[in-house]
Structure 1
Amino acid sequence: MDLEKRHLKELDWTILLIFVGLGAFSYLGISGSGAGIETAQKQVVWYVLGFVVLGVSLLVDYQLYKSLAYLLYGFGLVLLVGVLFTKPINNAHSWYDLGPVLFQPSEVVKLFIILAVARYLSKNSENPDRFGAFYQLIPPALLVIVPLLLVLIQPDLGTSMVYVGILTTMLVVGGIRLRHVLYLGSLVGSFLATMTVLYFYRDDLFFKIIKPYQWDRIVYWLNPDLEAMGRGFQLKQSLIAIGSGQLMGKGVNTATQASYGWVPVGESDFIFTVIAERMGFIGAGILMMLFFFLIYRMIRIAMEAKDAFGSYVVAGVVGMLTFQVFENIGMTIQLMPITGLPLPFISYGGSSLISNFLIMGIVLNIGMRKQKLMFD
């Protein structure tokens, strides 16, 4: 073990307090959903296990994670390939059924991707021409694209989008050139233009690329009133519930639209809706402020890290959490399409919560070992 008193003095205790606050919101949100208080009590157990995992991840110097980065990445690919041969759950091959619990490998693979990309980028961090040519973007991009494709096959579009967010953030921090951003932007623009042409003139090809259910999410995101009691039901009920919460909310002990099950998957995907209905604009605002301070503290850790690897790892985590929070909250208020992404540290789910605690444990590990001793 490498944990010493000098390391504990550097531990960011503010982040731990933020986790306690997020845990309280998680309990209130889940207990107020159709899942009820029993599910909320299970989440408390997951939170306790999460803090244990976080504590264990602090025991060794984070350089160990750097040395194991590629090995863990390979293990993650094996998990993603293996899950494709499991029995589908909710029409997706995304979980290993371990009896009492379901394990979703794509959650922990987020960490493995961040570690692998961070190790690659840190190797060339001192080279001013590390991204001088466009082809130099290919290796880190492939580290993300391979698991991304495996997740898309499951299918899980939401998690694959998180992988893109991770890569984008780490490349920006790594010093990607503006001209390369313009190249990539033109490629994305060309793809969207091609898809538009196919939609109007060759819809048979269009729907081979874009699945009908994925297109429905876009259509009924833009106008849920087209089928207010059908495919637009989730979003419509979410907007009604959030609006009914008004400024102060209906109260944590009051029967609500969510508690009667009118907000689908209120314990997971739409837990922000439940919180906004029960605690109103003020409660939802406090929750978003907790996320803001969490990201702010992580940015400080990234800036103070003692090496490039640590900075890149924290940058990847910042990109991951920022994207997930923005997407999850955005989809409940019609700002973003519905993707099924959980709200980090709030939505019910053991795989997601434990994986996030493990990831944040490494972030805190980097922060508490930021000081370089003169004779290290």
Structure 2
Amino acid sequence: MDLEKRHLKELDWTIPLILVGLGAFSYLGISGSGAGVETAQRQVLWYVLGFLVLAVSLLFDYQVYKNLSYLLYGIGIVLLIGVLFTKPINNANSWYDLGPVLFQPSELMKLFIILAVARLLEKNSEKPDHFQQLYHLLPPALLVMVPLLLVLIQPDLGTAMVYMGILATMLLVGGIRLRHVLFLGSLVGSFFAVMTVLYFYRDDLFFKIIKPYQWDRIVYWLNPDLEALGRGFQLKQSLIAVGSGQLLGKGVNTATQASYGWVPVGESDFIFTVIAESTGFIGSSVLMMLFFFLIYRMIRIAMEAKDKFGSYVVAGVVGMLAFQIFENVGMTIQLMPITGIPLPFISYGGSSLLSNFLIIGIVLNIGMRKQKLMFD
């Protein structure tokens, strides 16, 4: 252990306070959903465990996580392979059933990817030809693509998209060249162009690449009224609930559309809808401000980190959280298609919450060991 008083003085105490505020919104959203107060009380227990995980993560110099990064990455890959042979839950092989709890390894893999890619980027940054050629992007891309493919097999498209967001953010901070960004962007554009041609002229091939249920999400995202009582039901009810909250909301203890169960998965995927309905625009804005300040404080830590590994790790965390927040909130108000991405620190779920607390603990660890002392 390497925790000293001088480290605690450098700890960014604003971030734990923000997490407490997010915990309050989490309890409010879960208790106001169809899941009820009992589920919200279990979330409080997860929050207590989360703060314990955060505290333990501060005891060790973050260089320990750097040295273990490849080992942890390998363990994560083994867990992702193993989960494919478990009994499906909600038509997906994403969880280990541990009796009283379900463990989702793809959540913990987010941290393992960030650590492994950060270590590789730091090592490569010492080379004079760093990112000069396109093939220099292959090693960090492969570190992400392997778990990404395993997650797609489960299937879990939402988490796979988060992995891509992590990679994109870390490559941008790592110094990817503009010409490479333009080239990769042209590849993505070409892919969509080919898919458009296939949709209109070879739909048999199109639906071999894009699953029908995935295409339905796009169709009913663009126009939920096509089947308001069927495949567009989730989004339609979410829009109604968010709009009914108006400026000040219906009130915390008032029966709402969400509490009656009209908002599906209100304790998890659509928890922002529940919060918006009960607290209105004002309450939703306060929640978004908490997220903004959380990301802002982490960006400061990344800029003040004592080494590139620390900066890369925090950059990956920022990319991960920013993508999840934008996607989750966006899908509830029809800005983004519906996916199974939870709202960080708000949605119900032990695996996600504890993983996020561990990740924030490592970010705080980097922040409080930012200074190089003469006699260290």
**TM-score, structure 2 length as denominator?**
1.00
Give the corresponding residue for 1:98: 98
Give the corresponding residue for 1:81: 81
Give the corresponding residue for 2:345: 345
Aligned-partner Cα distance in 2 for 1:267–1:8: 35
Structure 2 residue 239 is matched with structure 1 residue 239: yes
For residue 125 of structure 1, report the CA deviation from its aligned partner.
2.0
The aligned amino acid for 1:251 is: G
Give the corresponding residue for 1:65: 65
What are the superposed Cα offsets for residues 214-234 of structure 1, whole Å, 9 maximum, x if unpaired? 000000000000000000000
Aligned-partner Cα distance in 2 for 1:61–1:95: 31
What are the superposed Cα offsets for residues 104-138 of structure 1, whole Å, 9 maximum, x if unpaired? 00000000000000000001223342100000000
Structure 2 residue 23 is matched with structure 1 residue 23: yes
Moved over 6 A (4+): none
Counting only pairs closer than 5 Å after superposition, residues 148-227 of structure 1 correspond to structure 2 as 148-227=148-227
Counting only pairs closer than 5 Å after superposition, residues 199-348 of structure 1 correspond to structure 2 as 199-348=199-348
The aligned amino acid for 1:323 is: F
The aligned amino acid for 1:369 is: R
Give the corresponding residue for 1:374: 374
SS in 1 for 2:256: coil
Listed as ranges, the gaps of 5+ residues in structure 1 are none
For residue 39 of structure 1, report the CA deviation from its aligned partner.
0.2
Aligned-partner Cα distance in 1 for 2:128–2:163: 26
What are the superposed Cα offsets for residues 270-290 of structure 1, whole Å, 9 maximum, x if unpaired? 000000000000000000000
SS in 1 for 2:187: helix
What are the superposed Cα offsets for residues 131-163 of structure 1, whole Å, 9 maximum, x if unpaired? 000000000000000000000000000000000
Structure 2 residue 135 is matched with structure 1 residue 135: yes
Aligned-partner Cα distance in 2 for 1:244–1:128: 57
Aligned-partner Cα distance in 1 for 2:128–2:254: 60
Give the corresponding residue for 2:2: 2
What are the superposed Cα offsets for residues 319-343 of structure 1, whole Å, 9 maximum, x if unpaired? 0000000000000000000011000
SS in 2 for 1:347: coil
What are the superposed Cα offsets for residues 31-67 of structure 1, whole Å, 9 maximum, x if unpaired? 0000000000000000000000000000000000000
Aligned-partner Cα distance in 1 for 2:273–2:190: 36
Aligned-partner Cα distance in 1 for 2:95–2:37: 25
The aligned amino acid for 1:111 is: L
Aligned-partner Cα distance in 2 for 1:64–1:320: 22
Aligned-partner Cα distance in 1 for 2:168–2:130: 16
What are the superposed Cα offsets for residues 176-207 of structure 1, whole Å, 9 maximum, x if unpaired? 00000011011101111111111111111110
SS in 2 for 1:106: helix
The aligned amino acid for 2:188 is: V
Aligned-partner Cα distance in 2 for 1:336–1:375: 52
SS in 2 for 1:183: helix
The aligned amino acid for 2:162 is: V
Aligned-partner Cα distance in 2 for 1:258–1:337: 20
The aligned amino acid for 1:51 is: F
Aligned-partner Cα distance in 2 for 1:224–1:114: 36
**TM-score, structure 1 length as denominator?**
1.00
Aligned-partner Cα distance in 2 for 1:182–1:375: 46
Q: Count residues in correspondence.
A: 376
